Amino acid sequence: MGVNPKSPNEFDEAHLSQLSIAVSMMENKGIYALLDCHQDVFSRFFCGEGLPDWAAKNLGNETLNRFPFPLPINFTREPDTGYPVLDDCLKHTFGQYYFTEGVVNGFKMLYTDGNGTLEAFATFWHKIASYFADQSSVLGYELINEPSFPALADVLQMGLVDQKYLAPMYKKLHEVIRKVDDKHLIFFEPCVFDVFQTGFTEGPGGKEYNNRQVFSYHDYCLDVTKQGDPQSDVLCELFDNALIYLRVKEARVKKFGGMMLTEFGGLSNSTKGVEELNRVTSIADDFLQSWTYWQFKKYADLTTSVRPATTESFYTDDGELELNKVQALSRSSAQAIA
């Protein structure tokens, strides 16, 4: 997180200014911005990205240096930062790092306010909401991307992490944001491992805020090669249909407010990749779901399962537009034409 890279209460105003400029540039093109607190596997110390170094260091040097325990993998570390060397990180799929001691303990520290981490996170969101409260082209705030579990046992019971840890944290963040911004949408996600059922009973603001809160979910077919090509149309179709149907059904029954497919894709420009794009967007259309593709271009993404990282973007390594993907995603809004 570039907003407060040095300490909890020391904000990088230049970083915020650059972010605001980017939002304004998009506004000039008629594009809304969703401000997503993006993380994958918690920290660069764990071959991921997300929380600033000062937060990860609160876990202690022993935990940082033991990574990726208990996985039987050896990493070389950069002498100046202590980070695992990126080439070593990329030899393995990033999803397995969620099961390491460091990442599990990191999420536990965040959810339970260990070392004041949750309070610092609330301060972060208060700053962001204060800064962008009057920016009309900001669609909303995504509280955290793909949160994970704080103990291995918790992932065995579907919905437990949402109910026990995420719901209280989201409520706290909602209250902090609403002190300075009562207008923008707040997006909230379930635990990344709660694939078909969450533990939420309502959105973080309660039913009163159903017109200003959005249940956010992702859809990635699990049967995809490192080149970004689905291996089985049958498996991907079954998975995509089941996930979107169950997400929509739960959100409607529990009355979460709005909902949006805020990530899918990470696919190649091939026929197989485009078929999956058409499959997901068609299912989303059937349920009148808005969606966003991951991702527009390569942004030094450490945590993508495809290689090269440009595979998932709209552009090749030499900057050529991948027209098959662009054409597949150039669709009318289902809600607008229904």
Do the beta carbons of residue 35 and residue 142 sit within 8 Å? Answer: yes
Q: Which of the residues are catalytic?
A: 146
